[in-house]
């Protein structure tokens, strides 16, 4: 079906899908659990070492495994029943977090368990992402992803807040045991709420079953040689430019004469704008969402250019909020990406796209930090915004060339 012919879904229909309700709640619990673990582990490491550097390193380790293991482990979602993958990885994470709660465990062992914990998140996320478009047909999937992404923003804040309260109330070990319980509860939702399905069938012209690593290479090749998928990944990596506001919020607030409160407002501006943008974009028709992917990617970067003027706190909050608002283009872009990939390769392709996105964000923040050291935070943000506009224009042009092909007319091999 061509994009313009897709019927617009309604919010009131979304939660009528019982399997979506289970996947939705499992996803929320997974995010809250991750944030609980980050807070508890940061406190645990600082209590044992009194080192801010080691504490920051431990926190960074909660993100690095996604980059290393994302493309390597996501393919399990295409080789085994996805419901089983989600249940097994949830149970494994529950056990790993419970082991971290053992007070006598050496710090090195805790860090190794942390790396394993994050690694298990990659196949879970891939299996869940690949299951959603099966559970939610057509535009219901876009709406379901919008609901998920908006709640993820709130869940991250909730996880940080409850994580701090939990550590104060029951200590670091108790906080980690609570985190373990969130994974057990997530596994229960999937066990009793999601229907068991077989491994996605491979098309007859795809040849015999390949080895695991050949399948991974095939997934990367699929993205690289399909113009539609390639351009959508390019649009996703534009995030590496505008996400730099998160990394430079504190030094930028100091530069414009603000303090921690100002930095907090700045950090809240972009996600608040993103939540509003995701809601607004679901009100558009499917065809209109696709048409404006490129312009919105450009618009997400433009506000950063004005940071060079150091306009003050109120105006900067507005600018960063507008950047977050426009960044909502990620919602229809990622939904279109998943829907355009054949079912038997969705896990592999999701791993490639997720790694590209997270790598661009990490590298973008790193580059912005280096530029801020060489110049000033405001100049660094303006330079990253300008570069982002140029990249977004190129990615948007690639998307316009690729978009006229209906999703179902692309031949995958």
Tens-digit pLDDT profile for residues 249-264: 878 888 888 876 787 7
- The larger pLDDT score, comparing residue 349 to residue 375, is at 375
Tokens, residue 121:
């998140």
- The larger pLDDT score, comparing residue 162 to residue 197, is at 197
With CA atoms as reference, report the closest residue to 347 among 161, 124, 30, 169. Answer: 124
Long-range contacts of 166-173 (CB under 8 A, 24+ apart): 166/36, 166/39, 166/40, 167/39, 167/40, 167/43, 172/40, 172/41, 172/43, 172/44, 172/47, 172/101, 173/101, 173/102, 173/103
**Would you tell me how many other CB atoms lie within 10 Å of the CB of residue 194?**
22
* Contact assessment for residue 127 and residue 85, using Cβ atoms and an 8 Å cutoff: yes
CA torsion 231-384-258-39 (nearest 10°) is 50
Q: How far apart are CA 364 and CA 170, in angstroms?
A: 37
Residue 226 has pLDDT above 80, yes or no: yes
Q: How far apart are CA 280 and CA 275, in angstroms?
A: 9
- Global pTM reads 0.69
Q: Which residues are within 8 A (CB) of 351 and not within 5 positions of it... i.e. 6 or more apart?
A: 70, 71, 72, 73, 74, 75, 122, 126, 216, 219
| 282-314 pLDDT per residue, tens | 888 888 888 999 999 999 999 999 999 999 899
* Chain centroid to CA 281: 18
Q: Which residues are within 8 A (CB) of 396 and not within 5 positions of it... i.e. 6 or more apart?
A: 235, 293, 294, 295, 297, 298
| 110-150 pLDDT per residue, tens | 888 888 888 888 888 888 888 888 888 777 777 887 887 77
Residue 53 has pLDDT above 60, yes or no: no
Q: pLDDT-derived band of residue 270, with 50, 70 and 90 as boundaries?
A: confident
**Would you tell me how many other CB atoms lie within 10 Å of the CB of residue 230?**
17
Q: pLDDT-derived band of residue 48, with 50, 70 and 90 as boundaries?
A: confident
CATH topology (fold) of 216-407: Growth Hormone; Chain: A; (1.20.1250)
pLDDT of residue 21: 87
Q: Using alpha carbons only, what angle is made at residue 352 by residues 205 and 334, rounded to the nearest 5 degrees? A: 95
Residue 5 has pLDDT above 70, yes or no: no
pLDDT of residue 253: 86
Give phi and psi for 384, each to the nearest 5.
-65, -35
Q: How far apart are CA 25 and CA 149, in angstroms?
A: 12
Average pLDDT of the residues in 8-18? 71
pLDDT of residue 380: 92
Q: pLDDT-derived band of residue 324, with 50, 70 and 90 as boundaries?
A: very high
Q: How far apart are CA 152 and CA 133, in angstroms?
A: 18
Residues of the chain with CATH 1.20.1250.20: 16-195, 216-407
CATH topology (fold) of 16-195: Growth Hormone; Chain: A; (1.20.1250)
* Contact assessment for residue 142 and residue 13, using Cβ atoms and an 8 Å cutoff: no
| 380-399 pLDDT per residue, tens | 999 999 999 999 999 999 99
């Amino acid at each position: 079906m061509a994009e313009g012919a897709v019927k617009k879904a309604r919010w009131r229909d979304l939660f009528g899908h019982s399997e979506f309700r289970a996947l939705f709640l499992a996803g929320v619990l997974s995010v809250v659990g991750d944030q609980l673990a980050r807070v508890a582990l940061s406190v645990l490491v600082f209590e044992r070492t009194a080192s801010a550097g080691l504490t920051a390193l431990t926190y960074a380790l909660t993100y690095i495994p996604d980059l290393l293991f994302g493309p390597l482990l996501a393919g399990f979602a295409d080789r085994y029943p996805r419901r089983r993958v989600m249940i097994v990885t949830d149970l494994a994470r529950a056990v790993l977090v419970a082991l971290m709660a053992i007070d006598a465990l050496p710090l090195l062992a805790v860090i190794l368990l942390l790396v394993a914990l994050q690694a298990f998140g990659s196949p879970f996320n891939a299996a869940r992402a690949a299951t959603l478009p099966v559970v939610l047909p057509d535009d219901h999937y876009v709406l379901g992803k919008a609901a998920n992404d908006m709640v993820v923003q709130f869940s991250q804040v909730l996880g940080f807040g409850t994580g701090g309260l939990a550590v104060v109330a029951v200590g670091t070990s108790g906080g980690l045991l609570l985190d373990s319980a969130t994974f057990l509860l997530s596994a229960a939702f999937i066990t009793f709420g999601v229907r068991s399905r077989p491994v996605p069938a491979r098309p007859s012209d795809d040849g015999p079953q390949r080895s695991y690593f050949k399948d991974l290479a095939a997934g990367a090749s699929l993205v690289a040689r399909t113009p539609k998928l390639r351009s959508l990944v390019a649009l996703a990596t534009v995030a590496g430019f505008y996400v730099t506001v998160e990394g430079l919020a504190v030094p930028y607030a100091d530069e414009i004469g603000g303090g921690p409160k100002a930095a907090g407002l700045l950090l809240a501006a972009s996600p608040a704008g993103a939540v509003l943008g995701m809601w607004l974009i679901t009100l558009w028709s499917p065809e209109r969402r696709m048409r404006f992917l490129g312009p919105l990617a450009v618009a997400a970067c433009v506000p950063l250019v004005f940071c060079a003027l150091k306009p003050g706190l109120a105006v900067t909050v507005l600018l960063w909020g507008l950047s977050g608002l426009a960044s909502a283009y990620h919602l229809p872009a990622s939904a279109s990406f998943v829907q355009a990939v054949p079912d038997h390769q969705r896990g592999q392709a999701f791993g490639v796209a997720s790694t590209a996105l997270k790598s661009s964000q990490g590298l973008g923040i790193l580059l912005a930090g280096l530029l801020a050291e060489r110049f000033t935070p405001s100049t660094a943000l303006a330079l990253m915004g300008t570069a982002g506009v140029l990249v977004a224009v190129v990615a948007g042009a690639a998307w316009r060339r690729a978009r006229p092909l209906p999703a179902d007319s692309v031949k995958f091999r």
